[in-house]
Amino acid sequence: MLKKIIILDRDGVINLDTHYPHKINEIIFMPYIFDVCKYLTNKGYELAVITNQSGIGRGIFSNNEYLKVRDWIISKFEEHNIKFLEFLHCPHKPEINCECRKPNTALYEILKKKYPIDLSNSWAIGDRDTDVIAANKAGIKNTIFIGNQKELKVSIDSNIVKSLEEIKNIIH
């Protein structure tokens, strides 16, 4: 059976993007994130995270520091009875031009190989144009951009919301 998946970005969607947050005390969850994720799972969606974490490649924090924070985030969601199918990250800095850094799609391809995904009924939610571009390139056409049209560097075809709470008006 095909899975309906919501692919979330981390910084700017799950937690505030406070410029390379990499310590537990730096993670501030976005307003409504637990409520919205519970709503989505109750609608039959499974959740996954695909995130660029160039702070690793830049030497700002280690992969182990990232994994510690990731595991803590996962535990906080589990406290709300919310589970992630996958929590994938690209550790490279942009100059490497790797295949896993959004807007490239290698992490999406890993997800698609591992799980039978219903691409036409799945969604990607991000706060950067690269989140939407990567999802589209991977075959996920349903996207939500959190932010303001003025923040976009390129034109994208996406639903645009100012806050997570508005997602409930788009995904029914």
Domain that holds residue 102: 20-151+161-169
> Given this model, what pLDDT does residue 156 score?
76
Assigned domain for 2 exists: no
Ranges 60-64, 67-71, 144-148, 167-171: which has the least confidence: 144-148
Known catalytic residue at 9: yes
- For residue 11, indicate whether it is catalytic: yes
Structural domain count, the chain: 1
Out of 11, 127, 129, 131, the active site residue is 11
Pick the catalytic residue: 9, 127, 129, 131?
Answer: 9
- Write the CATH number for 53: 3.40.50.1000
Q: Hey, is 8 helix, strand or coil?
A: strand
Closest CA to 8 of 65, 73, 61: 73
Is 5 part of any domain? Answer: no
* Rounded average pLDDT over 162-168: 95
84-90 and 5-8 strand pairing: unpaired
Residue 112 CB burial class (10 angstroms; 0-12, 13-18, ≥19): middle
- Give the Cα separation of 85 and 132 in Å (integer): 20
Q: Confidence class of residue 153 from pLDDT cuts 50, 70 and 90?
A: low
